[in-house]
Amino acid sequence: MPKVLVSDKLSETAVQIFRDRGVEVDYLPDLGKDKEKLAEVIGQYDGLAIRSATKVTAKLLENATRLKVIGRAGIGVDNVDIPAASKKGVIVMNTPFGNSVTTAEHAIALMFAVARQLPEASVSTHEGKWEKNRFMGVEVFNKTLGIIGAGNIGSIVIDRALGLKMKVLAYDPFLSEERAKELGVKKVELDELLAKADFITLHVPLTEKTRNILSRENLAKTKKGVRIVNAARGGLIDEAALAELLKSGHVAGAALDVFAVEPATESPLFGLPNVVVTPHLGASTTEAQENVALQVAEQMSDYLLTGAVQNALNMPSVTAEEAATMGPWLKLAGHLGTFIGQMTDEPIKAINVLYDGSVAEMNLKALNAAVIAGVMKATNPDVNMVSAPVMAAERGVQLQTTTQAKTGVFDGYIKVTMVTDRRERSIAGTVFSDGKPRFIQIRGINVDAEIGAHMLYTRNKDVPGVIGALGMTLGDLGVNIANFTLGRTHAGDDAIAILYLDEAMAPEAVEALRATGKFLQVRPLQFEV
């Protein structure tokens, strides 16, 4: 009988699920706070169920000689050393969708609170005042709500807002026109949303692309009198700039549940009369906490008893037999998706995947998930092979898979084609006999490119002097090239280069290449190798 330790507070119902499924469980909800005691006993368990209090470090995992799975009741896994767990062969699971409704409802609650100044009115009335004329609010009926991020939580907010008879504009690079129509919203670019929205609410993860998406510059583009809600992630808004616009009256109000630095004990937004703040309560409801606890108990039981894997952050959903042969191909599929995702700044309509030869006989569902996860990581680094297909479907991205018998010199290869309203972009790759993935074709141009953690892609007209400019510019900036692959269609036509670098390129190096005027495209790329 497998044995699980619950080291944080989970509901009794979740603990009972383990017992009912035939898993022995020790419920010690305060043990996660005692690092030394946890390290002493962790070697007795096959599974560890946690929330945020337990810190699963590399040092702790050294003692986890039996551990097979860690289950996090919730989304965030910052308290788990996933690379260390992977090296130990420990699966890390989370429950990414258990608190979506709760978070969406909190955003709606914040919108009402800032529209009607409810917290201030409550404090005033508790103090025995009756300041009816002081708290003049606005209706949400018939107002325009701008949604930044129309994924799982954003789509729930959209549904609630439409029920309130609001007009909804949505900005999301992955939202297709078809999915927008299905949701009942108008898909717009960010500038149009900023200019027209009476309320703006954010529902995107924090990435390099979304950090300060409401920057000082973008906040200045908003409609005068706008009210802004953020129950997603801190760091999406320039808080100092927002405070200035609140004081000037350009922004009529703001409601924030998250902050750039948490716990937030100070902020330029604190103390402003037109600001509602809460201490990251987005997932804090009885129902949400119960849901994620039940889900993690079911998922861990399934894995320990049957080997089924759900919502794993560090393992594909494949059988043990498949893993031996599919491992390199799963890496390749992820790299192909990552390339496409990082090269694309437009809404993706479809992803077409061609499997040729030997790879066509493998577990295509897992390979497709790896491709999609690679694509989606460009905008959401926390995505995994389980959640990525769901996120893509929510945004209306169509997936098409084609298989064919061996057609060329390779025993097998994978070709990924991304389709947007403006273009198609493709890349193909294979796995060599040494088990290493390689890119073999980009934009229809044959190449032989080794894949590294830090890479650079350039495109130019095939004219003399480009290679020299590329090497000289990078050399002057101290960028060392580990490997270098060139390709072209025909003499004088388009040519590409893909470079494997020793380290990530600094932004000034990218700008220096662009400033030469010799390149049609310069794109630094990052891969998990």
Catalytic residues: 233, 262, 280
H or E segment and range at residue 72: strand 69-72
Q: Tokens in use for 446?
A: 């044959």
Q: Is the dihedral of CA 257, 263, 265, 266 positive or negative?
A: negative
Burial 423-435 (b: 16+ CB within 10 A, else e): eebbbbbbbeeee
CA 4 to chain centre: 29
Judged on CB neighbours under 10 Å (0-12, 13-18, 19+), 242 is buried
User: Within 10 Å of residue 139's Cβ, how many Cβ atoms?
Assistant: 12
Report yes or no: 509 and 477 within 8 Å, Cβ to Cβ.
Answer: yes
Q: 157 and 147 in contact (C-beta within 8 Å)?
A: yes
Rounded CA separation 499/254 (Å): 45
Burial code (b: 16+ CB inside 10 Å, e: under 16) for 263-285 equals: ebeebbbeebebbbbbebebbeb
DSSP readout, 317-384? S--HHHHHHHHHHHHHHHHHHHHHHHH--S-EEEEEEEEEEGGGGS-HHHHHHHHHHHHHTTT-TT--
Distance CA 12, CA 20 (A): 12
Q: State the pairing for strand pair 167-171/144-148.
A: parallel
Distance CA 10, CA 467 (A): 60
Which string of b and e fits 347-365 if b means at least 16 CB within 10 Å?
Answer: bbbbbbbbbbbbbbebbbe
Could you give the 3-state DSSP secondary structure of residue 234?
Answer: coil
Q: Which helix (H) or strand (E) holds 92?
A: strand 91-93
Residue 192: CB atoms within 10 Å: 15
**Torsion sign (Cα): 28, 29, 30, 33:** positive
* Calpha distance 129→37 (Å, rounded): 53
- Say how far apart CA 487 and CA 446 lie, in whole Å: 6
The answer to whether 342 and 523 are in contact (CB under 8 A) is yes
**Would you state the structure tokens that stand for residue 492, as one six-digit string?**
């004088």
**Residue among 419, 499, 431 nearest 466 (CA):** 499
As a residue count, the chain comes to: 529
